[in-house]
Chains A and B, each alone.
Chain A
Amino acid sequence: MVAYIIRRAFAAVVLLLIVSAVTFGIFFLVPRLAGETTQQLASQYVGRDPSPQAVQSIIHNLGFDKPVYQQYWEFIHGIVAGRTFNDGPTPTHCAVPCFGYSFKSHLPVWPDLTQRIPVTLSLALGAAVIWLVSGVAIGVLSALKRGSIFDRLSMGVALAGVSLPIFFTGLLSMDLFSFQWPIFSNLHYVNFTDNPLMWAKNLVLPWVTLAFLYSALYARLTRAGMLETMSEDYIRTARAKGLPERKVVTRHGLRSALTPIITIFGMDFGLLLGGAVLTETVFSLPGVGQYAVQAITDNDLPKVMAVTTLAAFFIVVANLLVDLLYAVVDPRVRLS
């Protein structure tokens, strides 16, 4: 088991390095595809009418005068060892883990970014609890009562749910429950540590809206998986040996129907932690996703690079955890 964990973790680190290198390459390459020169790229970081010297020093500070692999190496080196940037008269030290330094806000990126993580985590965790419980429950019930009114109704709603964009349901729910009937008025993010009650109250709408989309998806997936599992031979065997139906469903049916759901959940949750971009934009939540959009709109490359790396990190770690969980549940995985 330990050997398996080490092997998987090593693979995850390699994957992360490749993803960050490709990301770096793309952000290095794409502005040049759009026909921007290094001078133009650098001059946006200084005020109006920049002097050639100022542009030159920005080019040097951003490292644009070095080859791309060396820039990437300095980026990775900074994460593990810290870096020093020459911004203004005194050099600024960017502490470990240094994900870069924004020459626009004149601050290291990492402390700024980590402030956003609790917001996105709050949003994702609350929504995940709702959608896992409701989605799986509805899916299982629909599969067991296939063809019933409950099944048809819930699958109809689920199909509508996966067809509705979150930026529409989000606006709709805000219009209805924050404006027309002001149950959740004056929505803004409150820290959990400051006021847990307000934290929850102001997150109810985003949670439910986000969870609705995923519940619909998970109900459909669970129902399909459950229908397939319940027609397997070993379910018939379990019934034949006289197990009560409740045990057949929970012990034998649900258990194997849920394994693919866990994989998908790991990916979805990891993806959300890297920024629930649309939900955060609709509900003006100051999370990682909003930070990313802001950084991209401002064209602040170090910030964009940091947030993309962070998002990739969450995806890779979530997948790693799912793989390890599989190995615990199913011994065939780690032996193959």
Chain B
Amino acid sequence: MTAPLEVSGSAAEAQPEAVLSGMESKTIEGRSLGRIAWIRFKRDKVAVAGGIVVVLLVLLAVLSKPIEWVFGLDPNALHQNLIDPVLLRPKGALGGISWAHPLGIEPQFGRDLLSRIIEGSWVSLAVAFGATVLSNIIGMVLGVVAGFYGGWVDTLISRLMDIFLAFPLLLFAIAISASLQGGAFGLHGLPLHISVLIFVIGFFNWPYMGRIIRGQTLSLREREFVDAARSLGARGPFILFKELLPNLVAPIIVYSTLLIPTNILFEAGLSFLGVGIEPPQASWGGMLNQAVDLYQADPMFMVIPGMAIFITVLAFNLLGDGLRDALDPRNN
């Protein structure tokens, strides 16, 4: 029984990472690209930390309503007794931090900041995820079609992307969300604002994703494995779904992860300008909008939502950078 030993010995040599990390695998394991990427990703401690924060934030956003209910938090309850009636700022140090209000309260109205931050998290992430999915779908479909079919289809779609990129995106977003504030598509209030934001942010951002996917498809199309599939008699749809799409998963994951923080900043910016989420619904950008007039009385009121945005965006950026390094085959 020498043969299996030989095999496992040479297999271990062929997998230097396994040797390095001290993994004593007795059986021979094939390593998929995803597995290699996961091993690389695990080694990047900063990216893992970013990933953990992202998971916690998503949990916080998804469970925000139950959390508020369990702890008896009310993001819109006024605590005017805790506000200094003359200076309009919270009584006590650091914006009125106390056991009952761990992040303090807002000046003027005295609403609890922790519960407003929690409430803002789901709004922020819902808009960012929704917009990312929307621009991914448009960008992916048009990018793959342009790259795969080429010719006049490619020219048409590429020109369309040029036109979209020439739009002053932020001005458009402000104008459209401002004029739809009253009600549209049979929606009103918060559902309307969230869907308008998803539409405005997602619909105009797709060319970035579209360009990346088009470029990837163009280079993949010429690769040997596509030729091989074609010579075996595979047709367009088969090549598209079975040969090309699996290879596009990595860039799609990476750029989605990096698009989410951009969209979080976009939503916060629109709410900051007063055309995103409308009060009294709490949103991080909306809180900073209030802080413009109140930061001199109570700087903590500006710092808390600002840090919430910063930590969230930073965590997604760390995760995205780590995923890109792990999934990029050029990195070793």
Q: Using a CB–CB distance below 8 Å, which chain A residues touch chain B?
A: 15-16, 18-19, 22-23, 26-27, 30-31, 33-35, 159-160, 162-165, 167-168, 171-172, 174-175, 179, 267, 271, 274-275, 277-278, 281-282, 292-293, 296-297, 299, 304, 307-308, 311-312, 315-316, 319
Contacts and interface: CB of A to CB of B under 8 A. Distances in A.
Interface residues of B, number: 45
Nearest to B315: A163
B323 interface: no
12 contacts: A34-B179, A35-B183, A35-B184, A160-B310, A163-B313, A165-B285, A172-B302, A274-B168, A274-B171, A275-B171, A307-B171, A311-B168
Contacts of A292: 171, 174
A229 to B, nearest CB: 14
Given A312-B168, A315-B166, A34 B183 contact: yes
A93 B142 CA distance: 46
Contact of A296 (B163, B178, B265, B317): B178
Contacts of A267: 165
Contact of A15 (B162, B176, B321): B162
Contacts of B318: 159
Contact of B170 (A160, A172, A179, A277): A277
Contact of B314 (A160, A277, A281, A308): A160
A195 to B, nearest CB: 26
Given A179-B295, A292-B174, 4 more contacts: A19-B163, A23-B167, A33-B184, A175-B295
Nearest to A231: B330
B49 interface: no
B94 interface: no
A306 B274 CA distance: 22
Contacts of A27: 175
B150 interface: no
Nearest to A180: B299
B169 to A, nearest CB: 8
Nearest to A155: B321
A312 B318 CA distance: 33
A296 B174 contact: yes
A268 B269 CA distance: 17
B181 to A, nearest CB: 8
A171 to B, nearest CB: 5
Nearest to A167: B272
B292 interface: yes
Contact of A315 (B168, B184, B285, B305): B168
A171 B306 contact: yes
Given A15-B162, A19-B167, A30 B180 contact: yes
B310 A278 contact: no
B100 interface: no
B288 interface: yes
Given A35-B184, A299-B179, A15 B166 contact: yes
Nearest to B261: A163
A275 B309 CA distance: 23
A293 B273 contact: yes
B291 interface: yes
Contacts of A274: 168, 171
B163 A308 contact: no
A19 B175 CA distance: 15
B124 to A, nearest CB: 12
Contact of A34 (B170, B180, B299, B310): B180
Interface string B165-201: 1111011101110111011110000000000000000
A319 B274 CA distance: 31
Nearest to A34: B184
A179 B291 CA distance: 14
A172 B296 contact: no
B54 interface: no
B326 interface: no
A34 to B, nearest CB: 5
B268 interface: yes
Contacts of A33: 180, 184-185
A136 to B, nearest CB: 20
A174 B310 CA distance: 18
Contacts of A23: 167, 172
A22 B185 CA distance: 21
B134 interface: no
Nearest to B170: A277
Contact of A30 (B179, B183, B296): B179
Contact of B171 (A16, A162, A168, A308): A308
A236 to B, nearest CB: 17
A161 B81 CA distance: 38
B288 A167 contact: yes
